[in-house]
Amino acid sequence: MTSSAAYTLDDSTADLAGLVELVGRGEVAVLSGAGLSTESGIPDYRGPTGLARRADPMTYQRFVGGEEARRRYWARSHVGWSQMRRARPNAGHRAVAELERRGLLAGIVTQNVDGLHQAAGARQVIELHGGLDRVVCLSCRERTPRAELDRRLREANPGWRATSDAINPDGDAVLTDEQVAGFQVVGCATCGGVLKPDVVFFGENVPKPRVDECFDIVGRARGLLVLGSSLAVRSGLRFVIRAAELGIPVAIVNQGTTRGDAHAELTLDAPLGPTLSRLAARLAAEQGE
């Protein structure tokens, strides 16, 4: 592997040599972030499509602290979900699933909540921050499909219409106060409790057993491949730091610099879909396919 450097991907395959070397060894842990899903039409937080930088994300404390905050969240999320559920895996997701199919991955840890890794066919996926396709009751802890809540919200809000051109990576649409006003929130169908998406909000901790499972994947890996994450928050950065402490080589593919670059042996500044597709093709060629 080369020392840490930045590249701009071109049509040559030389730029991929380091990635081919790392992933070709097998037992590679993947850590993916919002940048992997931008080519599916979902904006990221801090990269080229980072609309969320100008948004006001919901925190766990505000969500549980007031009915109006929950009304705002569910109205915005109800609109955003209609776009999120239509998103389809892009070439990057499909390439990661192909690497898994070839037996080259130790596991996939994703910071994303969109379910696109699984939709592309990946199986060994840990959703670090949960998934938008599920809802949990904060009272009885029952988990139900998001599609069921979507149906109940439409029934509770006949005639309510709102659209938005700005959808954040967590499925939160940007709406005006006028659009939010009058939106009716529903409770748990079993106990009437407060419903929350089964995702980790800002200000909420990732469950420790889930974190431990992610550390276990990184700890037994022969390499760590970071895809589309700026690593701006410790939630993902800690796995890069752990890999570096254990002497596990780290490679980062992202558009723009990341907080983990100093820990990486290889950084590649390039679009994820084309890069990962070429990586998968190179490895297939090396395996004689």
Catalytic sites, residue numbers: 129
Whose tokens are 């939709």? That residue is 119
> Which residues make beta-bridge pairs with 152?
none
DSSP notation for 184-208? PP---TTT---EEEEE--BT-PPPH
The Cα–Cα gap between 115 and 240 comes to: 22
Q: Which of 22, 31, 20, 32 is nearest to 222 (CA)?
A: 22
CA distance 80 to 97: 26
- What are the phi and psi torsion angles at 61 (to 5°)? -65, -40
Give the Cα separation of 84 and 225 in Å (integer): 25
Token pair recorded at residue 174 = 């940007």
Listed in sequence order, the residues at least 6 apart from 4 whose beta carbon sits closer than 8 Å to its beta carbon are 261, 262, 264, 265, 266, 267
Distance CA 83, CA 59 (A): 22
Distances (CA, A) of 281 to 16, 116, 234, 235, 285: 11, 21, 33, 31, 6
Q: Mark residue 273 as left, alpha or beta (left: phi above 0; alpha: psi -120 to 50; beta: remaining).
A: alpha
Would strands 28-32 and 125-127 be described as parallel, antiparallel, or unpaired?
unpaired
- Residue 6, SS3 per DSSP: coil
Q: How far apart are CA 32 and CA 276, in angstroms?
A: 12
